[in-house]
Amino acid sequence: MGTIAGADGVSAPERAQDPAGRTAPEERGSAAVEFTFLALLLMVPLVYFIITVGQIQGGAFAVVGAADQAAKVYVAQADAEAGRTAAEQAVLVALADYGHPAENARMETSCDPSECFAPGSAVTVTVHLTVPLPFVPFNDSFRLNVSQLDASATQVVGRFR
């Protein structure tokens, strides 16, 4: 016994049937298209979010390391001018290690008491870093920033030099 083929050349048992028993048109290949479309629609923002969080985390590590190294270098110098110059260099090196440009950062120093190199005085270095939105080619004109990160470190000037 043969099977009766429809106008499209597909026999009735090969056609998909809905719950009511009616034959539905074929949808071969549409699952792959739908999966690809939804994967792109959902995965691209997810990957971009992960990259952005990574930039913020890298910036956080960078400012903590930069502030710590700058404070240590500052108190090891002979005078305030040499200390500030050495601390700025330490900040630039630490930020460059994490891939952040110098123009996105600034450094502040403060001393307690006001005489920075008096034995026992505490020198605090604060580093501020602006983390830009990644992969934005026109970021210079719009200034799209993800986060503003700050870190401070304090070192005590030793009694014996």
Stated pTM of the model: 0.72
**What is residue 13's DSSP assignment?**
G
pLDDT at 11: 54
Given this model, what pLDDT does residue 20 score?
Answer: 62
pLDDT digits (tens, 9 = 90+) for 23-62: 556 656 678 888 888 888 989 999 999 999 999 999 999 9
Sequence-separated (6 or more) residues with CB below 8 Å from residue 91: 66, 67, 69, 70, 105, 107, 127
Rounded-to-integer distance, Cα 24 and Cα 26, Å:
6
Per-residue pLDDT of the chain (161 residues; tens, 9 = 90+): 555 555 555 555 555 555 666 655 665 667 888 888 888 898 999 999 999 999 999 999 999 999 999 999 999 998 889 999 999 999 999 999 999 998 999 999 999 888 888 889 999 999 999 998 888 887 667 778 889 999 999 999 988 76
